[in-house]
Amino acid sequence: MSEELFQELQLPDGNTVRQPIGLYIDGQWIKSKEVLETVNPATEEIITKVYLAGTEEVDLAVKSARNAFKEWKMVHGSERGSLLMKLADATEKHIDTLSAIEAIDSGKPKDSNARGDVEGTIALLRYCAGWADKIYGSVIPTGPEKLAYAKRVPVGVCGQIVPWNYPLNMAGWKIAPALAAGNCIIIKSAETTPLSLLYFAQLVDEVGFPKGVVNIISGLGTVAGSHIASHSGIDKIAFTGSTKVGSTIQKLASSNLKTITLECGGKSPFIVFEDADIDQAVKWAAVGVMFNSGQICTANSRIYVQEQVYEKFLEKFKEHVLADYKLGSPFEKSTVVGPVVSKAQYNRVLDYIDVGKKEGARMVMGNEQVTSKKGYYIHPTIFADCHQDMTIVKEEIFGPVVAVSKFTTEDEVLEKANDSIYGLAAMCFTKDLERAHHVSEELDTGMVFINSTENSDIQAPFGGVKMSGIGSELGAPGIETYTHLKTVHVNLGNKL
């Protein structure tokens, strides 16, 4: 194993890590012709350079996966489950290192954020391990002279493309169910956050997955990502990222009619009725848009508050965010809000804040000084008195910025909440159980959270409608999406 493919990194917490920087293909680490720098968003300093997969390396990974699939699909579910359990144990053993790598590469606060992401990955690996020998089909009663049954079989070779806001966690959402169902995979990390997934590849190798079953690469979306999406040797695409890129991937995947799972953008409405527990609504609202620096697809970045409690909510919301959402270095234990992921994202969010001011939204919070001289830090920002035609109400910002609006009636707020191209999630705060269920029925989204936000569960399906995506991940549907039905008809003696 060439040492050129690894680098000793000094982490801000004083520890060192042997970081892979190559491409993990066919159970080996290899180099390529191109490299890309990855930058620490808290310091703006280069962490390291990683090798980038081009079309040749993607072709190599596809060939490896296709060869491996011939035997992997025959491996008993219990054996696949055992390997996933071992991978979960190995990930747990390296949780501190993985959390630190996530923090330095993405800007996530290590203790309050990154560690939870790794813990979620571990839990999902174990959950999917339990599914591996329980992927059942069905028997269809067609009469005494014929037996028909439908079985779920693996799709084949799956191309998976993950985002930068949850580098390892979103990878786990795709890797675990695909392997449990008997598929082989080629997974590409986001350009800005490749390190934790490369480190994870070492664990895949360590626990003994057969060569070619798991291929993990870094690469540009326009090169490696596009080639994965259009490749005729790939049977399914799973993508998490922007709606714009998701639309492109859907077109590319049509080259050989791949099945697709797309989890794209969101602009989740958060509705607070006058009878809600305001203190709880405030706490959940803050978690839902300030956690992970607002870089969350389900972020409740549109808040609608009934007029009777509007000013009370705003006052408490500001107080809570100022008190409990400390902006700072990802390696300080007190930090809750770290930097956004990159210079490009930093500029994008600042542009939205400027637009919010220019379009007449009232800035309740956001002018507070950021003390760090370096890093892509943006102070939590609250806009009030927003209208439906404002840019910050219509477009996904993907930063710690929220637009708060007032409403009078239930019908009015439902119309406003559904007035969006997105349909990923929505939140409703009320003590009226009848209203809660009625509102959840009327909201045009894939998920609704009542008196909470974003506390999704690995046992429940996660997905959106409209421009927020196609299909679901997690839960039983998250497993089934990596299978297709094969129907078998058995003649029991009926002669022509």
Tens digit of pLDDT for each residue in 361-384? 999 999 777 877 899 999 999 999
The one-character DSSP state at 343 is H
pLDDT for residue 494 is more than 80: no
Q: Take residue 82 and report the two structure tokens written for it.
A: 């055992």
CATH 3.40.50.1820 fits 3-264+469-485, yes or no: no
**pLDDT mean over 454-469:** 96
484, 155 contact by CB (below 8 A): yes
- Specify which residues 270 forms β-bridges with: 303, 427
Q: Where are the beta strands (DSSP E) in 98-235?
A: 138-140, 146-154, 157-161, 184-188, 214-217
433-442 and 410-417 are packed helices; what angle lies between their axes, rounded to 10 degrees? 40
Q: 269-457 has which fold?
A: Aldehyde Dehydrogenase; Chain A, domain 2 (3.40.309)
The whole-number average pLDDT for the span 181-199 is 98
Residue 327 is predicted with a pLDDT of 95
Give residue 479's pLDDT band: very low, low, confident or very high (50, 70, 90): very high
Say how far apart CA 425 and CA 444 lie, in whole Å.
9
267 touches 290 (CB < 8 A): no
Query: At 327, phi and psi to the nearest 5?
Result: -90, 130
Whether the Cβ atoms of residue 167 and residue 191 lie closer than 8 Å to each other? no
What mean pLDDT do residues 234-250 have?
Answer: 97
Phi and psi, residue 385, nearest 5°: 55, 40
Distance CA 193, CA 329 (A): 17
H/E stretch holding 357 reads: helix 343-358
Average the pLDDT over 326-349 and give the result: 96
How large is the average pLDDT for residues 468-473? 97
pLDDT > 70 in the chain, percent: 99
On average, the pLDDT of the chain sits at 97
Q: What is the pLDDT of residue 370?
A: 80
Average pLDDT over residues 441-452: 98
Angle 98-102-105 from CA coordinates, rounded to 5°: 135
Q: Which residues of 346-364 are buried (b: 16+ CB within 10 A; e: fewer)?
A: beebbebbeebeeeebeeb
| Amino acid found at 74 | M
pLDDT band at 407 (very low <50, low <70, confident <90, very high): very high
Looking at the chain, which residues constitute the CATH 3.40.605.10 domain(s)? 3-264+469-485
Contacts of 373 (CB under 8 A, 6+ apart): none
Tell me what pLDDT residue 49 has: 97
Catalytic residue among 57, 102, 191, 263: 263
% of the chain surpassing 90 pLDDT = 95
pLDDT at 2 over 70: no
Q: Which residue's structure tokens are 């700072």?
A: 328
What pLDDT is recorded for position 13?
A: 86
pLDDT at residue 1, rounded to an integer: 53
410 is a catalytic site residue: no
Instruction: Provide CATH 3.40.309.10 ranges for the chain.
Output: 269-457
Q: How many DSSP H helices and E strands does the chain contain?
A: 15, 24
Distance from C-alpha of 221 to C-alpha of 96, rounded to nearest angstrom: 29
Residue type, 485: L
For 251-273, how does the pLDDT look when each residue is reduced to its tens digit (9 = 90+)? 999 999 999 999 999 999 999 99
